Structure 1
Amino acid sequence: MIPKISIVDYDGLTKYLPDLVTDGPVLLIHIKMGCGSCTSIANEFVDNQLIGNKVLVRMMEAEAAKSDNRSRVWDLDGNVAHTLGLTVTPSALLLAADRSIPFNPVYGISEIRRLVSQIENIS
């Protein structure tokens, strides 16, 4: 199950991780600005992008930075990344609508792309 741990939204408000899947499954992509691979992933997949018309992309940054994207969330103390095993950036984890975590985290650009491809191919 998705643990009830806090994240911070664009407005600086505390939210809880399970709240992200209120409207359906989410691919949570953990990035850190300044990381070249993370920049590539952030340019390829954007916040609120739908994958396969069913899974919403949400970017979670390790550090608060001004962003034009109001849907971005931040893991300011690193607790979310640590708890979910997102120990490397970029990394990603699928959060299901039933609040389960059906797969292990994936790490790096190629593995994130592979997971996205699998999501797109699910009927």
Structure 2
Amino acid sequence: MPVDVPRDAIVIRFKPTDPERVLQRAERDHRYSGTYGLSVFAAAPLPGEAEPDTIDRLLRASELANIRPDSNPRYYVCSRAGELLDRGFTFTKDGDDDEVAEHYTVDLGPGPTVEETKSFVQAFDQGRRR
């Protein structure tokens, strides 16, 4: 079920980056969850918080969700959730008991194509090192 994410929320994600591999990841997720989704971390900046500080907060949340920095040294930033929303994507929550507040799944729809995953990937930058 879609959830509201502030349009100004910063969104980060990890590999893969190739649209075909992103689609394969979504298809694998579909086999387990029934939806074509991609894991992201998102949060609106707190009052007075600069973008780098928000990103650091999201990276710490990803580690709480067991994403290890040594095996995921690069991350990708979408400057605002509104960019993904404008491309027709929605955000959902997994609903797991241990899901961190900043974790979301971006729903790609009922039968995504490589073109749709390409649109998703293009919303993010070229990658930054932790």
The higher-RCO structure (CA 8 Å, 6+ apart) is 2
Same fold per superposition (TM over 0.5)? no
TM superposition score normalised by structure 1: 0.31
Query: Whose Rg is larger?
Result: 2
